Structure 1
Amino acid sequence: MGAYMFGYLQIDKAELKVREYEAYKSVYCGLCKQLGRDYSVFARFALSYDCTFYAITLMSLRRSCSGFKDGRCRFNPLKKCKYARCEDDCYSKAAALTVISVYYKLCDDISDSGFFKALAVRLIKPFFSHWRKKAAKRYPQLDIIVRDMLNSQIAVEQKDKPSLDESAHPTAYMLAEIMKSEGKTESDARVLYECGYHLGRWVYLMDAADDYEKDKKRGNFNPFLSVETDALHEYMGAVLSQSLARAYDAYNLLNLYDFKGILDNMMLFGFPLRQNSVLSGQREVRNEQSI
């Protein structure tokens, strides 16, 4: 049950300044546009909050945003929107990670799902297979990292009651390696690795906490199912908060420029809000709506 970075790395809209929210939307729309340009208009449906976070982080680390431009949404031509301009390949790299992640998630879903769901997944897999090959050709290291994560995750889940740390390591290591590659110096790389590792661990365990009841009912693998405690909810909260705190400690050592206010919002408000939502059993976050 690899987490594949879907849906948890969100903003807290209520705590963002208006101009910061507009800037966040401009990156979200910019990544959507890049997915269409690099792969297909249908690849835009794979757009995720998590890869938007990745794009914003890249642009902030590199200081590559060169302003904003007005445009219209491809899905709704009547809707005006702004796009954040980028001087390098931040969008392309985030778009590549998006299609690569979805492709390997589909592979995982086929092996874990029943006949009818697996059949539906097989129908769309060829499209992502084509896009993933194109992405892997441009960013081979991203493909290797995500593929290795899937293989490691499968191996872990075949063990008898692996620990939380062991279960979360593949996803944590995946995001750590992806973040580490952006370090300009050895020191920067170490900090990025640390931040990515604990954030990846948090994402995986969030997914496990979110799917706990469903996995328990269906007999699927979930690392929290082997935890023996009468206060599982509190235990989940403590484990998740520890990972988020360690990620934030490393985050504070990063040299960030553009969009720092947005990233601060995500680390301090957005991620804890999403965590509280999952632990309270609420599927909808109070500010979760269409960008």
Structure 2
Amino acid sequence: MFGLLRPCAHGAAKYGIDAAEWRTHMCGLCLGLRDGHGQLARATTNVDAIVLSMLTEAQSGGAVERSTAGRCALRGMQRASVASVDAPGVRLAATASLLLAAAKIRDHVADGDASALARKPMGTVSTRWAGQARVSAQRIGLDVEPLVAALSAQTRLEQAALDLAMTDRADSLARLTAPTQLCASEFFAHTAILADRPDNVDALRTAGWQFGRIAHLADAVQDYERDLARGRFNPLAATGTTMPQAYDLLRESDSQLRAAVAAAELDAVPTVRWMLLDPLASVLRRLGHGIGTIAGHTCAVSHNRGEVQLNSRRTGHRRPGIGESLTLILGSYCTGYACCADHTQPCTGNRKDAWIKRCDCDCGCGDCCGCCDCNC
């Protein structure tokens, strides 16, 4: 879960949801990490972990917990109503953020992305965050030891996949995605426990298992060319999985995830559709249009002018300028502002300038973010 989900402001209006709801959960998670684990822990804020907070609320059925956050530079020094830091869903999202960030840093060190001088402090931070994840998990009754063990085994699994490169590849990809799938499945399932909905545990565990595969494969597709250029490990290249095969697996997981969400009777809940199902549909649509690299897309309304701006984070194109880079750093994670260099219109595949002031399809469906079902 590393930034796959980017709900669209158009979808929020369609479902009668305030577009600031995404930021409500984001800021709640950020503040929950600060209050529970210190300022440095806020760096682990994971945009996909927000779905755990949302799923917990969606199943609770009662009044949602909100608190007023103080002024923040990333909100233009405005106060905001945010998810309570003591809410069970926020604590679960914080646990996921810490655990996955620790694993991500460990992977960077193992891949040799860090200099020799940086490896030791990075390892120290990774160990600290993993320990904080354990503490956070204990508070909400989640056993994370199997998840820690699975993530720790990722490097060994990658080496095994390389060793099998010229022999048996049949189950290699499934083994490589299993740690991510296990983590996502247990986190999804625990939302049902926290919401006191034990009847939903199995369905959400299945949904999480499929979400984990989507997240892992989407990341592999996005990084494919860059990994090959840098000589880094890529699960698709290592297992000989072609892009069409990867796309078929993504479609299969998406179908099974939706069936599981429907089994939990959450598929009609507006926030679930807006923050989980629609963004996943957008991800698959972009792959279906033959885009070689895939990333989250945010289409959000500017808080200052009420103007819609776009971003589509892709590799292989021009680097964003200083202004765009600052927007990426200061805006995309906490405010939903546009942040990158270009945007591919999903209905036609044509590229557009990211800084346009309108957000509409050439086909006239009125949906720039791929949330519609038009076949134009």
Shift in Å, 1:165 = 2.0
Higher helix share: 1
Shift in Å, 1:261 = 1.2
**Closer, same or farther: CA 19–192 of 1 in aligned 2, 3 Å:** closer
Q: CA RMSD in A?
A: 2.9
Shift in Å, 1:253 = 1.5
Corresponding residue to 2:282 among 273, 279, 282? 273
| 3-state SS of paired residue (1:50) | coil
**Structure 2 length-normalised TM:** 0.66
Query: Which stretch shifts more, 120-129 or 247-256?
Result: 120-129
Deviations, residues 47-78 of structure 1 (Å, cap 9, x unaligned): 12111111211222234653544433444572
Match in the other structure for 2:211: 199
**Structure 1, unpaired ranges of 5+:** none
**Closer, same or farther: CA 74–38 of 1 in aligned 2, 3 Å:** farther
**Closer, same or farther: CA 107–89 of 1 in aligned 2, 3 Å:** same
Tell me how far apart the structure 1 counterparts of residues 29 and 212 of structure 2 sit (CA, whole Å). Answer: 21
* Corresponding letter in the other structure for 1:130: R
Match in the other structure for 1:78: 77
Shift in Å, 1:106 = 1.2
Shift in Å, 1:201 = 0.9
**Closer, same or farther: CA 114–30 of 1 in aligned 2, 3 Å:** closer
**Structure 2, unpaired ranges of 5+:** 300-310, 312-331, 336-376
**Is 1:250 aligned with 2:243?**
no
Match in the other structure for 1:94: 93
Match in the other structure for 2:358: none
Match in the other structure for 1:39: 37
* Corresponding letter in the other structure for 1:157: E
Tell me how far apart the structure 1 counterparts of residues 114 and 20 of structure 2 sit (CA, whole Å). Answer: 43
Tell me how far apart the structure 2 counterparts of residues 72 and 242 of structure 1 sit (CA, whole Å). Answer: 43
Match in the other structure for 1:214: 226
**Closer, same or farther: CA 38–239 of 1 in aligned 2, 3 Å:** same
Corresponding residue to 1:58 among 46, 56, 68? 56
**Closer, same or farther: CA 40–242 of 1 in aligned 2, 3 Å:** same
Shift in Å, 1:210 = 1.1
Q: Which is greater in Rg?
A: 2
Tell me how far apart the structure 2 counterparts of residues 142 and 50 of structure 1 sit (CA, whole Å). Answer: 20
Match in the other structure for 1:237: 247
**Structure 1 length-normalised TM:** 0.83
* Corresponding letter in the other structure for 2:149: D
Match in the other structure for 1:10: 6
Higher relative contact order (CA 8 A, sep 6+): 1
Tell me how far apart the structure 1 counterparts of residues 18 and 176 of structure 2 sit (CA, whole Å). Answer: 36
Q: Once the two structures are aligned, what percentage of the paired residues are identical? A: 19
